Structure 1
Amino acid sequence: MSRNLSTYPFVGRISLILLLVTWLGGCTTTPPKNISNICEIFLEKRHWFDTADEMSDKWGVPMHVPMAMMYQESSFRADALPPKDYVFFGLIPWGRVSSAYGYSQAKTPTWADYKRETGNSWADREDFDDAMDFMGWFISKTHKINRVSKWDAEAQYLNYHEGWGGYKRKSHHKKRWLQRVAKTVKARSLRYATQLKGCRDELEKGWFMRLFT
C-alpha cells in the first residue's frame, strides 16, 4: 500500500517547519562565525558561494578577490558603517567620514553609478547578492580603466579605496598605511584562494547530492 505525507499530517507539518527554518537560516544577515576561512564561510552560508560563483561567471572575477576585499571593508557585516567624523578638537561627533555603507562599503555616488549601468535599480547595500555583484562590476571596470588584473587583489583594493582617478594620480603613494592594508588584502586573498581549492568540490555539490555524503 502506498503512503504519503498526507497520511501523517503531523510529520508533514514538521518537515515544512524544518524546511522553513533552514531557508530562514540561510537568509540571516549575521556575519559568518569564522571569517578567516573561506571554506567555513561558504559551508555556513551556502547561498553566498552560489552568489560568488555567479558573480565570477558574470564579471570574470575570481571570488577570492572580492571576498578578501569585503573582509577588509566590513568583516561581512550587512549594516557596517564608516567611523564617525568629529569636530571641535575631536570632541563633537559630526556625521560619518564618508557615505560608505553595507557589506561592500560602497559609497553612495558609486552605488548609484552601479545601479544605473547594470539596471539593478532595486540593489540594496545590505544584500550580499547585490554587494558581491557590485564588487564584481567595480573590479571589472578597474581592469578596463586602469588595466589592473582582476586577480591582483592589492592593486584592485587601492583602486577600490582611492577611486580610479585617485589611483591614476598615484594618491596611494602618499599613504603608507593604505599600502600596508592593501598588502594585507592581497595576503588574505591568496590564503582564501588556497583554502578554496580544498573545499570547492564539496561546495559545488547540489543539495540532493549532499544528502548522500
Structure 2
Amino acid sequence: MSLTRLLLIISLFALVGCASGPPKNVNDVCSIFKEKDDWYEHANDSFEKWGVPVHVQMAIMWQESRFQAEAKTPRDWILGFIPYGRVSSAYGYAQVKDGTWDWYIDQTGNWGADRDDFEDATDFIGWYGTYSQKTLGISKWDAYNQYLAYHEGHGGWKRKTYNKKPWLIKVSKKVKRKAAIYDKQLRRCKDDLDDGSWFW
C-alpha cells in the first residue's frame, strides 16, 4: 500500500471520528445545529411526530449525555477500588436503560433503532414525553416535570419519589433553565434552520 493511500485512509477515519463526536459548544443550540447539520432535521421531525418541542428534547439530552453518542453511567466499585459493572444499563445520547429501550422498540416498531444514533434518541424522547403527557397529564412543553418523569419513570413520578431527592429537584430546575435558554436561542436561528440557509 502506498504512503499516499495510507494517509488518505487515516484522514478519512479522522474525519469520521470528528463527525461523530459531541458538538464543540453544547450551550448554544444554534451552534449545535450549525455544526451537526442533520440534527435539527431529526429533532424537528420528532417534534412534528410527537409534539415534544425541540428545545425540551435538547435540554434533556444535554443533561443526560452532553450529546455524547456512547455515554455510559459511572462504574460501580467493590471496596472502593475493584471495578464491578456500571451503575445502570443507561446508554447513549438519551441515557436509556435496556428495558426502557426494549419497551420503546416494542411500542413503536422502530426495530433498527440504536441509542447511539441521534435520530433515534430524539424519537425516543418525543415518544416518552408523549406517553408522560397521556398517562400523567404533563405538558410536553413542561421541561421540569417532563425531566422528573423521564428520570423517575411514570410510576415514580406518580408516587412523587423525587420529593425525597433534593439533588434531582435541582437537576430538573437546571433542565428547565437550559430548555428556556435553548428556546430563546432557537428563535434567533429557526428561520434559517427551516429554510436551510443556516448550513450554507
Task: Report the alpha carbon displacement of residue 206 of structure 1 after superposing the two structures with TM.
Answer: 3.0
> What corresponds to 2:23 in structure 1?
32
- Return closer, same or farther for 1:54/1:92 CA change in 2, 3 Å cut-off: same
Runs in 1 of length 4+ with deviation above 3 angstroms? Answer: none
> What corresponds to 1:71 in structure 2?
62
In structure 2, C-alpha distance between the alignment counterparts of 1:42 and 1:206, rounded to whole Å: 11
In structure 1, C-alpha distance between the alignment counterparts of 2:120 and 2:22, rounded to whole Å: 16
**Residue 115 of structure 2, aligned match among 125, 131, 137:** 125
Aligned residues: 187
Rg larger in 1 or in 2? 1
Q: Percent identity?
A: 51
**Residue 180 of structure 2, aligned match among 184, 190, 193:** 190
- SS in structure 1 at match of 2:19: coil
Q: Letter of the 1:150 partner, please give it.
A: K
- SS in structure 1 at match of 2:38: helix
Q: Letter of the 1:56 partner, please give it.
A: F
In structure 2, C-alpha distance between the alignment counterparts of 1:39 and 1:151, rounded to whole Å: 19
Using the size of structure 2 for normalisation, the TM-score is 0.89
The CA RMSD over aligned residues, in Å, is: 1.8
In structure 2, C-alpha distance between the alignment counterparts of 1:61 and 1:131, rounded to whole Å: 13
> What corresponds to 1:54 in structure 2?
45
> What corresponds to 2:163 in structure 1?
173
In structure 2, C-alpha distance between the alignment counterparts of 1:49 and 1:162, rounded to whole Å: 27
Task: Report the alpha carbon displacement of residue 210 of structure 1 after superposing the two structures with TM.
Answer: 6.1
Are the counterparts in 1 of residues 34 and 199 from structure 2 also a CA contact under 8 Å?
A: no
In structure 2, C-alpha distance between the alignment counterparts of 1:80 and 1:69, rounded to whole Å: 14
In structure 1, C-alpha distance between the alignment counterparts of 2:199 and 2:156, rounded to whole Å: 47
